[in-house]
Amino acid sequence: MNFVKELQVIAKHFDVLYVEDNEALRTKAKTLLEKFFGSVATASDGQIGLEMFKNRHYPIVITDIKMPHMDGLTLSAHIKKIQPETKIIIMSAFDDKELLFKGIELGIFRFLTKPVNITEFTEVLYKAIGEIKHEQNTKMFYSYLKNIFNYQSSMVVMLHEKDMVLANDIFLEFFGFECINECKKSLRDIGEHFLEHDGFLYNKDIDAVMTLISNPQKLFHIKMKAKDESLHHFILKYQTIPEKEGYGILSFDDVTELNLLELFDAKQSKEDTKATNTKAVYNLLGVIQRNSAKVDIHNYYKGLSITNSGIITEVKEESILLKTSYIQLKSIQLEEKTYICSSALPQVILANEVVKISFEKQELELKLLSFVNTSPIDRATIRVVPTQKQSVSLFLGENKFHGDIEIEDISLDGVRLKLGALPAGLDRESEIRLDMVLELDKKPLIINTSAKMLRKSESKHSFSIVFLFEDLKKSTLVKYITKRQMELIREIKGMQNG
């Protein structure tokens, strides 16, 4: 690379101070430097050089070491104190290690040994200016950024990997910090300040900041304590900065006034207030839609959990439109309802009516939306619907039940039976014996166990009763349930393939 030409282009707008006691050298160097720099000032010793620097902060200072009144290293130490960014280039006839170490300590930009080779000299100057420009750009970038940050009406923080780089004044004010450095020192892991709350993001399974970084654009709820000890509820989003790898912006939307905190924590709020909260449902779904955040849509196909993400395309007065995968649409069509989950929602939303489904557009419209306290998503055990090749006999004490009976679903812990009538005398204390025959690998699978009734419900023409197994050897049933799951996966995937 020809640094002479390059230097002529970039050094024009820079000034330089040259300190040298040897007059002949000084004059020669001045002539050379003037070919590149906007202006060149010279001084004949360190003392004079320092006075000149005090009057004008030159971005580049070139100095000799041994000089009368003040040597080059002392001069450098003073300059670094006044203006640490100054690029100091030392030229010395001595190849002294001790001087070199001192220079490194002071943050000297480069050492050059006299007599200086022009190519090397121009290269060092070129690099010094390059670095100054880079520092100026960074400074400018941060000052612009700070302006943009402070223009925001909500709290904004810039992260590099997991570390805080910048925070706006509102953020600093929230925690009561004077400046960003104080904030950085105290808030090493910002995730530690996200307080525990049901359904909120905090350092739980995986550290919160890592979760944020791995889920850009996703909305999270967090709770933080302000300097006045008041609790605030925020909706938090992490956005990556294009072309700035590892950098991202956290934006905090303070939604404390919506009074949703109670709603999130099931223990603190009552069932009825939630039920009437349909307005909140639509408002929140609106927030999700505006942020183009994804939701999880959940259904069961014969007990098999089917979950896919979906995007809300429109929130109407009493219904919503959303797009999701073919398999999900198919399961919604079969189940005639669906559950919507998102970390931005305090609870799961049940959509109890499907208005229309378009497989072509992969879109559907749902209505009768409400928050639900218990949803099948929280199911502790996996339940599957067995094939039609099943039979079951129920004995209440010595008496066999003779009415219509079939297995609705079965898990490792129990079974739900559909009965045409209620066996006389059946209650929670009754000694029940169940003889079931299922099919596993085309062979009959016989399950005999005693059981206790857990709960019963009644519909128009039948009863649905859940029995818990008492003395069942589980290993065969594990095989049955896992095989059945596999069959069901094939079944539902088969629907997709036509």
Partner 1 sequence: MDNKYKILYDDGDRKYVMFSFDDETHEESFLSVNQYLIIENGEGLLIDPGSESIFDELYEGISELIEVSQIKYIFLSHQDPDVSGSIAQWAVTTQAKFLMSGLWVRFMSHYGFSEMSRVVQIPDKGAKLTLGSHTIRFIPAHFLHSPGNFSLYDVKSKILFSGDIGAAVVSSLGGEKKVREFEEHIKALEGFHKRYMGSNKLCRAWVQRVEKLDVRKIAPQHGYVFEDENVVKFLEWFKELACGSDFLEELY
Q: Minimum Å distance from CB 493 to partner 1?
A: 8
Among 360, 380, 442, 494, binds partner 1 (CB under 8 A): 380
Q: Which stretch binds partner 1 (CB under 8 A): 58-66, 275-283, 443-451, 471-479?
A: 471-479
223 contacts partner 1 (rule: CB under 8 A): no
How far is 273 from 276, CA to CA, in rounded Å? 5
Q: Which stretch binds partner 1 (CB under 8 A): 261-269, 379-387, 394-402, 460-468?
A: 379-387
Q: Minimum Å distance from CB 454 to partner 1?
A: 18
Which residues within the stretch 227-246 sit at the binding site for partner 1 (CB under 8 A)?
none
Q: Which amino acid is at 375?
A: S
Give the list of residues 6+ apart from residue 478 with CB closer than 8 angstroms, or none: 412
Q: Minimum Å distance from CB 457 to partner 1?
A: 24
How far is 158 from 142, CA to CA, in rounded Å? 11
Q: Which stretch binds partner 1 (CB under 8 A): 94-102, 271-279, 359-367, 475-483?
A: 475-483
Strands of the 432-440 sheet, one edge to the other: 399-400, 391-396, 432-440, 443-458, 463-469, 414-419, 405-410
The tokens for 26 are 């000084």
228: helix, coil or strand? coil
- Angle CA 425–429–430, to nearest 5: 45
147 contacts partner 1 (rule: CB under 8 A): no
How far is 250 from 18, CA to CA, in rounded Å? 47
349 contacts partner 1 (rule: CB under 8 A): no
379 or 402, CB closer to partner 1? 379
382: helix, coil or strand? coil
Which residues within the stretch 185-204 sit at the binding site for partner 1 (CB under 8 A)?
203
Q: Minimum Å distance from CB 167 to partner 1?
A: 23
Cα radius of gyration rounded to whole Å, the chain: 37
Among 112, 145, 170, 341, binds partner 1 (CB under 8 A): 341
Q: Which stretch binds partner 1 (CB under 8 A): 32-40, 274-282, 459-467, 472-480?
A: 472-480
Residue 295's closest CA among 255, 368, 333, 351?
351
Q: Minimum Å distance from CB 353 to partner 1?
A: 23
269 or 331, CB closer to partner 1? 331
Q: What is the largest CA-CA distance in the chain?
A: 122
Among 101, 130, 486, 491, binds partner 1 (CB under 8 A): 486
How far is 256 from 95, CA to CA, in rounded Å? 67
CB atoms closer than 10 angstroms to residue 463? 18
How far is 68 from 358, CA to CA, in rounded Å? 89
Which residues within the stretch 298-327 sit at the binding site for partner 1 (CB under 8 A)?
298, 304-307
9 contacts partner 1 (rule: CB under 8 A): no
Residues that bind partner 1 (CB under 8 A): 203, 205-207, 210-211, 213-214, 296, 298, 304-307, 341, 377, 380-382, 412, 474-475, 478, 481-483, 485-486, 489, 493
